Structure 1
């Protein structure tokens, strides 16, 4: 099969399709590296659908069009529509990537979501806050990794944020993968406005990745973040895949499944964020038509013993992947490696960490004498440790002990 893959620079899907024997053409932003073994076409911006329409006749015939990149979901759907190919529709692609459309569709389906309003300027935030009650949450309509997402506590705080240019500041991207989309734009740059949301008093945040074939959920992988994501931006964190018998796992998977059905059936992975309000229960936060970020897909594949690249390749070509659904561990945690800004002076040896009880694998991307790699939003780049918890009730302390064993020491950067 010939597959056209839209990619921002992570070649996971392209290499998986090549390994499965498929022919692959990649459409990617200009300036990103070519993937060996593939034909290559470039674009300047994913959201320039007129340019994509003009480019389409020059693209080779393909049997399928696929992506696992948030920024390229609408573009992939647009090209499918031009080619009359099966897969996620343009309407569903917008529902998965535009948070205003998403929340409207989820609410219409009877799912619990925070109230929201679309505004175009910080001057309009107070009116929405007067309706919902202070504080409120501000976020882009299209975004990822909590970029440009923050709480506005009251009118005085709003003024402080406006004076500090919080609504006019663009995000810096150390990965270089987001320049062909709008994720780096300031809130005031957003062509279609941004969201003001009802503030939820979140005491826990969960995720659930659904592996779906033609709208049928083959595997649901519920899990929990160590803290709500807005509380962990720029901080160390850990994610845990929960066992199916966990008290909230079934409810998490059920809400995620209902959300995916409301937004649009497809073959692929749907990533959902579920929030627990202290007094109001569970809410659907967001859902994406792509795998979870960070180590979530790795947690799923290790917990349930499946080949992640082969699974993504199968779903991209409308095949049914081999998913057993039997967990290998009572729970599984990905502990993100802390990386404060500065030059790395010391870090424990990988073999020493992997020799610790419960550790399955340590990926430590810190080199003594080199700067610690910068993250972006909730995305960390210094590595992770896969760990089987001894007891979920003592997991916080277990992770603290593991981080102490990493013994990371960083010398502050000095001005030139």
Structure 2
């Protein structure tokens, strides 16, 4: 007798995508990938995963393919990619399967709409304004005062997010963003940008499941004017008053956005006047944060997500209390990656849970100032936050990348 299926609408290209397939199998389901481009996911060839090739931007085709799967036993539909969480939720609701409210997800994914709803509910957010033209963006920035953040209203991974310190900078960056009709997955994007004041203070993300705060992650950011995340520490070393404040504002944000089914990843800044919401993402965190949560607490958020949509038992109760830190490896320069030294030495350090490269020797490296700059990582664990952070920093320093600069 064949196993019931879990359908995944596309996937993220790094991080947890492959883990979702393994979680489905461990729970007794056969994973099925619905994708327009199977070659985007090299790991599929090594996984026991059925593949259905179709135009995943076509809602009718996606629903019909899922209905065909349901005739043979379909337990759930989801996606590990932010770009496809709405499409997956729409299919689940149309088939009567568990899932989040697709309308709530769609509103949340538009950062301007999300901000309007949060502000209307009295949830603290930076001052902001939507702009449909570069000139509108400059007028908003002039009203706020410089510097300001200019970013697309959709997207993820810090793509297109930049700090601008002058009218010319705002004009140029807004014009560049508004010139893009589609995102990196070829989906149409709104012709609006978000202009906002900069919330000063350390950055944290709050990882929730349903309405349970599973943990809080401290973020390390790269060089301004960009906001590339270059490291994470979980759990964040915070005073209980700070933890409670971050948990409280996150739950208020979920309520305001009608969220609360399964995972969410809420980015915050802790300012002088308290925490402020930067954005709520109605999905699991990227950047291997779910793996840090698992190493630090034993809570497997990937498994929980699959179990939730399949009506299986799941738990957010910690099994142990340790600390985990991740440091990403970034290109030292643009050009051809010629050598990778020290990776095995880093992996052998006691307490290092993972050390890997995503780019191979011969790869052409470019600096895009977003998540695509991350070409590897190291993850370390420890009994204390200080232990885990120090070991992760040491492991990262051991890895030496040699790049031949392009002419």
Does the pair score TM above 0.5?
yes
Q: Could you tell me how far 1:227 is from its partner in structure 2?
A: 3.0
Of the three residues 102, 107, 116, the one matched with 1:95 is 107
Secondary structure at the aligned position of 2:32 is classed as strand
Aligned-partner Cα distance in 2 for 1:293–1:162? 26
The number of residue pairs the alignment matches comes to: 390
Matched, 1:319 2:312: yes
Secondary structure at the aligned position of 2:396 is classed as helix
Q: Does the 8 Å CA contact 1:44/1:180 hold for their aligned counterparts?
A: no
Structure 2 counterpart of 1:186 = none
Cα distance change of structure 1 residues 229 and 222 upon mapping to structure 2, 3 Å threshold: farther
- TM-score of the superposed pair, with normalisation by structure 1: 0.80
Which runs of no fewer than 5 residues in structure 2 stay unpaired?
A: none
Cα distance change of structure 1 residues 75 and 159 upon mapping to structure 2, 3 Å threshold: closer
Structure 2 counterpart of 1:125 = 137
Of the three residues 7, 10, 24, the one matched with 2:10 is 7
Of the three residues 295, 315, 319, the one matched with 2:288 is 295
Q: Does the 8 Å CA contact 1:113/1:283 hold for their aligned counterparts?
A: yes
1:53-92 correspondence runs (5 A): 60-61=70-71, 62-92=74-104
Secondary structure at the aligned position of 1:203 is classed as coil
Of the three residues 53, 56, 70, the one matched with 1:42 is 53
Q: Could you tell me how far 1:72 is from its partner in structure 2?
A: 0.7
Aligned-partner Cα distance in 2 for 1:134–1:233? 17
Cα distance change of structure 1 residues 208 and 296 upon mapping to structure 2, 3 Å threshold: same
Cα distance change of structure 1 residues 324 and 151 upon mapping to structure 2, 3 Å threshold: same
Structure 1 counterpart of 2:234 = 241
Q: Does the 8 Å CA contact 1:243/1:327 hold for their aligned counterparts?
A: no
Secondary structure at the aligned position of 2:206 is classed as strand
Q: Does the 8 Å CA contact 2:5/2:30 hold for their aligned counterparts?
A: yes
Matched, 1:203 2:201: yes
Of the three residues 331, 334, 353, the one matched with 2:326 is 334
Which runs of no fewer than 5 residues in structure 1 stay unpaired?
A: 173-177, 183-189
- TM-score of the superposed pair, with normalisation by structure 2: 0.81
Q: Does the 8 Å CA contact 1:299/1:333 hold for their aligned counterparts?
A: yes
1:245-256 correspondence runs (5 A): 246-247=239-240, 248-256=242-250
Structure 1 counterpart of 2:155 = 143
Aligned-partner Cα distance in 2 for 1:266–1:26? 25
Matched, 1:404 2:404: no
Secondary structure at the aligned position of 1:68 is classed as coil
Aligned-partner Cα distance in 2 for 1:349–1:11? 22
Matched, 1:158 2:170: yes
Post-superposition Cα deviations, 1:147-178, rounded to whole Å, max 9, x if no partner, equal 11222323233345478x46436899xxxxx4
Q: Could you tell me how far 1:38 is from its partner in structure 2?
A: 4.2
Q: Does the 8 Å CA contact 1:65/1:76 hold for their aligned counterparts?
A: yes
Post-superposition Cα deviations, 1:321-357, rounded to whole Å, max 9, x if no partner, equal 133325432x32111123333323341142x224446
Aligned-partner Cα distance in 2 for 1:210–1:37? 29
Q: Could you tell me how far 1:122 is from its partner in structure 2?
A: 0.9
Aligned-partner Cα distance in 1 for 2:29–2:197? 47
Aligned-partner Cα distance in 2 for 1:272–1:409? 33
Post-superposition Cα deviations, 1:241-260, rounded to whole Å, max 9, x if no partner, equal 12586453332233223222
Matched, 1:224 2:218: yes
Of the three residues 154, 179, 190, the one matched with 1:168 is 179
Structure 2 counterpart of 1:181 = 187
Cα RMSD after superposing both structures: 3.4
Cα distance change of structure 1 residues 93 and 349 upon mapping to structure 2, 3 Å threshold: closer
1:383-402 correspondence runs (5 A): 383-388=376-381, 400-402=393-395
